[in-house]
Structures are given as C-alpha cells and as structure tokens.
Structure 1
Amino acid sequence: MSLLEARPAVLTGAAAGIRPALATPLATPLVDARSQLSDAVALLGYPEGLHALLATPRRELTVAVPLRRDDGSTRLFTGYRVQHNFSRGPAKGGLRYSPHVTLDEVRALAMWMTWKCALLDVPYGGAKGGVTIDPREFSLPELERVTRRYTSEILPIIGPEKDIPAPDIGTDERTMAWMMDTYSVNVGYTVPGIVTGKPISLGGSHGRASATSRGVTHVALAALRHRRITPYGATAAVQGFGKVGHDAAVFLADAGVRVIAVSDQYGAVYNERGIDFAGLDAHVAATGRVVGFAGADPLDGDALLELDVDLLVPAAVEGVLHAGNAARVTARVIVEGANGPTSPAADRIFAANGQLVVPDILANAGGVLVSYFEWVQGNQAYWWNAAEVEQKLEERMLAAWQQVVETAASRDLSLRAAATVLAVERVAEAHLLRGLYP
C-alpha cells in the first residue's frame, strides 16, 4: 500500500477528527488549524490517508508538574509537549506558560509550526509545549523549579536532534537557560543545542530576541508596498506590547510608519500623531502596563482592532479577529504577528472586502528562522555577528514573501492559502519520499 493510500484505522473518517469544523460550531485554534489544512489538502487533491497523517500529531506527552512553593506548600500543574511532524527534521517549537494553555491549543500551535518551518525551508518539523500556569503569580525561584521539573518530565522526547524548545508567551531566555542546564546535567555534559533563544553568553544568537518582530516588520513593509501604500507616513495599530508587538511597533516607527495605537492585556492607548515609544517604555517600566500613559489617550483594547489604519498587526494571542468583529475591521493590510489571530470566517470577510492578510506562518516566522541560525551556530561552535544575522533574516523573509505572492497570483489564492499550500506540499513530499515504516 502506498503512502497516498494509507488509511490507518484509528485515523480515518470521523475518528480522525480531520474535519472538526463540521462536527462543532465552536471556533478554537485547533479547529482553525485543521480547517486551514483541509482547505490546502482539497486544493492539492490529496487523499484521506495522507490528510490524516498531516492532521495528526506524531507524538504527544502530558505530564504532571508538581511545585514546592516558597512557603512550603505544594501546587500541581499540567504540562504538555506535542510533536506534530518529524518528516523534514527534528521537531521545533516554543514553550508557553499561560493559565489558558490546553492540549488542543498546543496541538494547533505545533501544526502551525510545521507549516512555518516548511514555508521558510527550515529543516525542522513542528512542535509546541506549554504549562498551564500564570507566571505572574509565582516567584522567580518557583518558576525555575517548575521549568526544571517540566524539563525533567519531557526529557525522554527532547534533544538537539529530536525536539528543540524555544521561548514563547510567559517564558524567556532565562527559562531556556534553566532548560539547557537541566538537560545538560542529566546527560552529563553541556548541550547548547537543546534549546534556542538562550542568553548570548550561553550560546544564544545575536538578534534572536527581536527576530520575530524584525520578520514581522520586513513583511509588513513589503505588504504595504504591495498594496501601493507608501510605508513612510502610513498609519498602524499594534495589538500586543510583549515579545513581538513591542519591538514590531518600534521597528515600524523607525521605518517611518506612524504607529497611532498599541495595546496590552490591560487596555490600549491612542495618539493620532504617533506614539512616543521612549516615553511609553518608561511608563511601562514603572507601571507594568500601557494604560495610563500621559502621552496618549485611553482606548478600549478591542476598539484598537477596528481603527481606520493602513496596517493592523495583531501580535497578542490567537482568535482575536473572528466573525463577530471582522466586518468592523477596516485596516487595508493585516499582518499576523501572533499565531492564529484570524479565524477562517474572518478570513472570508476580509477577502470579500479586499483586505490583504499576511498569514502567521509567513509573517512571524523570523523567530524560528533565527532559532535555526542559533542551532546551526551552536552545532558549528562558530557565532555570527548581529549584522550577519539581520542580513540573513531579511533575505530569507523577503524571499519567502515573494514566493508566497507569486504562488497566490499564479494559483489565484489568498496569501494564507498560498502559504499553506506551499508548506503542506513540502511536508507531504517529505512523507512520500520517506515512505511508511514498516
């Protein structure tokens, strides 16, 4: 039986959950991810057996993560690691600490990582991890203990040639240092390649911390030009003022874009003349939030998405653009800094309104691209300077952008459909070339 004909009994039909959108009306990241895959599979004409293989994670691990708190009490958390695909190389994906982490969310994010890596032609498959915890409620020593215990629990399935974690929401380079040390102590020698997004002094790469934001900026400027909007003086709103949104807003402003609104989980601020980021940074450092900044007017967080701007960058969490608000979103160009911010229903509304949506698997791929650079540098024990990293990042991001634009034009597809088709096609080709074992 060929791979194209493969129909594992546990993965076919309704049992596979291949088309969950037909079974439930509830929009979730996993429903959205599988819907996007189903659309690409239909365009490519793949049979159900191959669809099942592409839709189903290769490996999932759920672990208990007990924590001894500073006061001596014990709390128990749940952690996950999902490895969606290995066909093009070891699995790669971030580690998220959030009270909203679920297994289905991690499954969706792992799938999107597979397509992201394939689209950027990075030799990885997709993975994702998470612990259902609010890191703001715990001390630094407590978070270190959570990280080390979680790492110990998933130790059998990670490694520089198996699965390479990286930072995500609620984690940072310090988290990666703890993970690297825990793994290294267990194997008996230092293994810098076990994680990416590490501190530079421990083998991290120049440019990794801002890589996702720089990638978003390169693609956003290209998308504005594609729509014949001059970036200098164009208006923008950025949802999210964290790892991705903060630097993306600053980089866009540095390029001459007038960023008139930004938001975080507490609310938003607005200034028609453009946000003063030096002043806002000082305010956030003092208060921990953008709300209350004297140099801008207060704005409801959800209202930011509906501002009349040339460019909207949703850079917070998934599912913020949906059927309930898409008709009120008027931005000419939407560049997805977050993973999965736009539902399929919203996509259809934006397409009908002639709005350009640059999908997450392209727009925010700068992070995994520089993670790949870090992994390569670590394997060679030879590090590049910041200028080299930035040049390689820009070249790869703009090359991927051009390829997606050309594919969209030649096949009469949206940018999301074109990007997903390109990525799925590459992963499917790897499946076919490798065959099934046994």
Structure 2
Amino acid sequence: MENLRFFEQVNLNFDRAAKYVRFTDGLLEQIKGCNTVCHFTFPLKRDNGSIETIHAWRAEHSHHKLPTKGGIRYSMMVNEDEVKALAALMTYKCAVVDVPFGGAKGGVKIDRKNYSSAELERITRRFTFELVSKNFIGPDIDVPAPDYGTGEQEMAWIVDTYKAVNPSLNAEGCVTGKPVGLGGIRGRTEATGRGVFFGVREACENKEDMQALGLTTGLAGKRVIVQGFGNVGFHSVKYLMEADAKIIAVCEWDGAIYNEDGIDIIALDNHRKEHKTITTYPGGTLISDSRAAIELECDILVPAALEGQINGENAPRIKAKIIAEAANGPTTQQAHDIIKDRGALIIPDNYLNAGGVTVSYFEWLKNLSHVRFGRMDRRFEENASRRLLDVMQNMTNRNLSDEEIGKLAHGANEYDLVDSGLEDTMITAYNEINELRKFHDTDLRTAAFISAIKKVGMVYERMGIFP
C-alpha cells in the first residue's frame, strides 16, 4: 500500500468511500477516472544562449461541470501521475464545498531557484501559449491558479499572454490568483490558509469530538506545529496564533524552530524575508532535522508542504491529536490508518485546503460580472446604518463619536464579503462531512469522499448519461 503512486492513493480513498453510495460500478469508474491529460514539451532559450527542453503537464480530471479548475505548480516533482492525482483531488474538493467546477491541475518540471526572472517569464508565457493551442485554458474551459512554486506574478503573465491571443470581454477570467489591479480579488493570497483556520476552528468547537481526544473546546492554548512555511503554512498558523493557539514549532526544508512558550509568527516571517531562512531566528531552538520536528508532542499538526510527508515510516511517531491537512496529499493511506487507529482526528485535504478554490470561484465570478464585490451596495448599507444610528441617538439622548459611528455603520467591502463567504463555506462543509462521518461510523476523509461522489454522481444522473 505504501508503494502506491499518488493517483492510486487517491483512488484507494475513493474506493473506500464508494461502498457507501448507491451508484453503479460503471458510473463510479467514470467519476474516478481522469478525463484528459496532456504532456507538453517546448524549448527554452536560457539567458546564456543555451537551449533547454521544458516538460509540463495539464490534467482535466472531470468535465461534469465546466470550467475545470486547478493550480499550476513549478516543481521537480511534477509528473503525469502527480497532476492526475491533484486534479482528482480538486474535483472532490470542489464538490465538498459546493464550488461548481470540475477538477484540473498543471505543472512545469523545473526548480524555479535555477532560473532567472526573465527565464521564468518565458517559461510561463510559452506554457500558456501551449495551453491555449491545445484548448486547455479559458474562462469557460479550464481556469488555472497559483500553486506550489507559483504566485501572482506567474498568473499576471498567464492572463497577459491569454489576452494577447484571445482578446475577449471575459479574458481576465482565464486564471485566478491574479494581482488585484489585473482582475484579482482581495483576500485570495491568504485564502487557503484562512480556510484552514476556519476548518480547524470549527473542528475544535465540537465538544464531543474534543472530549474524545482529551482536549478542551476552542483554539486557545492548543499547541501547534506547522510543516512548511510558505504562503499556506504561514497564513494558517498566523490566524491560529491570533485565535490564541500557541505555535510551538515551524518546520522548513533546512531546519525547524522550536519554542514551547510559542513563536511569534509575524516576527519569524519578517526574519525569513530578511535572511532567506528561518534557521537563524533567535526566538527559538534550532532543530536541524525538520522531519523529526513534526514528531514532537503537540495538539495540532499542520502539514503544509508537499504530498507524502506523513507516511508509514514516521506515522507511528506522530503524536499530534489533530492532523490538519493544509497541503495536498500530505498523509499516505498507510499513515492515515495508523494515525486513525490510535484515535487522532484527521481533517482531510479534500476539505480543509478548499479555501483557495473557494475564493478563486469568487474571483472568477467577479471577472465575469465585471463588478467589484461591494461596489453596488456598500454605501447604501452605510447610509442606512447611519440613519438608524441617528434615530437611536435621538431616542436615547446619547451622542456617539465619529469613530464609533464609523465602526457601527461600516458597510461590507470586497475583503469583508470574500471572508464572510469563505467562512460560511468552510463551516457548512465541515458540519456536512462530520454528520456523514458519524452516520456511517467512518473518518472525515472517507466522509468527504462520500459527499463528493454523491454530488458528482448526481450531476451525471441528471444529465441522463447514467440512469
């Protein structure tokens, strides 16, 4: 089982959940399989004049809803199996949180540290052109987003290249995770980590589940270890720290920082930005073996790096009572069974890191509607609130200060609406899969797959393809 490839691991989880649904084997095979995958090769002229062949992939797992949706990563681990597995997880993730996309994923097999900014731009723009030419990108076809090794800059290059080839009205909707000035949305950068926070918070508010783990309800005082201090890991623990959880260890590829009294995540991030590493941070003890650091005693472990980091070899030594999967596929199936059998609660990736695609959905809607969230009604809400406050002041003979009136009458701006929508999505989805978990006497991962399979299968049935 431990030697299964990533896509096989995903399908094993699918098969475990499939026995709880009523669909035929034929329909289940259709849901499980990857519909389309393309391997691209193209030349890159390096800054020194040499020519290098670049390998890239894009997989569209399910077309039950369009467009398909999924990130593009730059990593030496990228291969066909990985993008198929991640595309499948995107299908199930979108279904769990009721985001109307099919799943997709893409990747370029490079280590971005070995390329200049100009070379990365040429790679990104050429990959975009290849996607366009093979009909693998478009606001109503397939919509990429940032992933490991990519960010706003790459998305800006993608949308600019796409618009040059397809200068249509809705061209900005071809990709999400863009800078705000190019059609992006406020709150997208922190969305995945913010979603992780909402999901963990909701789990920790469940009194019955916390009692079973020997923990009190709420986040206050809970000891947290995070593996991976990129965008997702940083924002996940930043919000947990602000909710009075105690971040006792941060693990990166070159070492970990440990402090039982808690680490100031903002100070650590500032140090990392200045020194390009966390290992010299003075506010904790350096642990050179970062993989061993995730085995320390804690209440919540947040794996926010790459897949397969918790496996059959190290799972028996993982002491965390809650595993909050901020990364995609961080826990192998064998490790999942080991951790589950000792009574820990695993909050699975196919629910917990759905914040990114949820806010990407909001960005896509914004691009298609061509209206910033809050633009139509924010001032109306503020004026209505001010009129109500004026009436209350007259009735109570109390005069509020301008600052108090400003806070009380505040109308929702774009970030407020995005954050509210994300919070509602994560809370609703968690309660749904937790009810399925208890109804079927299973775990949250299997419950999330049950939820996703039912929702995707019902779409196929309603289309009349599988009566």
Please indicate the TM-score interval, normalised by the length of the shorter structure: over 0.9
1:61–1:154 Cα contact (<8 Å) kept: no
Answer yes or no: is 1:98 the counterpart of 2:75. Answer: yes
Superposition RMSD on alpha carbons, in Å? Answer: 1.3
Task: Count residues with an aligned counterpart.
Answer: 414
Amino acid at match of 1:427: V
1:223–1:333 Cα contact (<8 Å) kept: no
Instruction: Tell me which residue corresponds to 1:257.
Output: 245
Kindly report structure 1 stretches of 4+ aligned residues shifted beyond 6 Å. Answer: none
1:28–1:319 Cα contact (<8 Å) kept: no
Instruction: Tell me which residue corresponds to 1:391.
Output: 420
Which of 255, 269, 279 is 2:267 aligned to? 279
C-alpha displacement of 1:45 = 4.6
TM score, norm. by length of structure 2: 0.86
Change (3 A) 1:29 1:435: same
C-alpha displacement of 1:324 = 1.0
1:112-154 CA distance string (max 9 Å, x none): 0000000111110000000000011101110000001111111
Amino acid at match of 2:323: I
C-alpha displacement of 1:168 = 0.1
Map 1:160-179 → 2, pairs under 5 A: 160-179=139-158
> What secondary structure does 2:150 align onto?
coil
Instruction: Tell me which residue corresponds to 1:346.
Output: 335
Instruction: Tell me which residue corresponds to 1:15.
Output: none
Instruction: Tell me which residue corresponds to 1:203.
Output: 183
Answer yes or no: is 1:88 the counterpart of 2:68. Answer: no
Which of 156, 168, 192 is 1:212 aligned to? 192
Instruction: Tell me which residue corresponds to 1:428.
Output: 457
Instruction: Tell me which residue corresponds to 2:92.
Output: 115
Answer yes or no: is 1:404 the counterpart of 2:442. Answer: no
In structure 2, how many angstroms separate the alpha carbons of the residues matched to 1:414 and 1:357? 8
Instruction: Tell me which residue corresponds to 2:52.
Output: 75
Amino acid at match of 1:317: L
In structure 1, how many angstroms separate the alpha carbons of the residues matched to 2:426 and 2:218? 20
Which of 220, 231, 234 is 1:246 aligned to? 234
2:322–2:345 Cα contact (<8 Å) kept: yes
2:251–2:294 Cα contact (<8 Å) kept: no
Map 1:129-144 → 2, pairs under 5 A: 129-144=106-121
Instruction: Tell me which residue corresponds to 1:181.
Output: 160
In structure 1, how many angstroms separate the alpha carbons of the residues matched to 2:84 and 2:202? 31
In structure 1, how many angstroms separate the alpha carbons of the residues matched to 2:25 and 2:436? 24
In structure 1, how many angstroms separate the alpha carbons of the residues matched to 2:140 and 2:341? 44
In structure 2, how many angstroms separate the alpha carbons of the residues matched to 1:202 and 1:94? 18
1:216–1:363 Cα contact (<8 Å) kept: yes
> What secondary structure does 1:405 align onto?
helix
In structure 2, how many angstroms separate the alpha carbons of the residues matched to 1:415 and 1:426? 17
In structure 1, how many angstroms separate the alpha carbons of the residues matched to 2:464 and 2:314? 44
In structure 2, how many angstroms separate the alpha carbons of the residues matched to 1:391 and 1:371? 14
1:177–1:199 Cα contact (<8 Å) kept: yes
Which structure: larger Rg? 2
Answer yes or no: is 1:358 the counterpart of 2:358. Answer: no
- Structure 1 unaligned runs (5+)? 1-20
- Structure 2 unaligned runs (5+)? 211-215, 374-413
In structure 2, how many angstroms separate the alpha carbons of the residues matched to 1:262 and 1:232? 18
Which of 320, 324, 327 is 2:309 aligned to? 320
Amino acid at match of 1:142: E
Amino acid at match of 1:342: T
Instruction: Tell me which residue corresponds to 1:223.
Output: 203
C-alpha displacement of 1:189 = 4.1
In structure 1, how many angstroms separate the alpha carbons of the residues matched to 2:269 and 2:182? 28
In structure 2, how many angstroms separate the alpha carbons of the residues matched to 1:224 and 1:238? 17
> What secondary structure does 1:291 align onto?
coil
In structure 1, how many angstroms separate the alpha carbons of the residues matched to 2:293 and 2:5? 22
1:240–1:314 Cα contact (<8 Å) kept: yes
In structure 1, how many angstroms separate the alpha carbons of the residues matched to 2:280 and 2:42? 37
In structure 2, how many angstroms separate the alpha carbons of the residues matched to 1:407 and 1:293? 44
1:76-119 CA distance string (max 9 Å, x none): 11110000001023100000000110110000000000000001
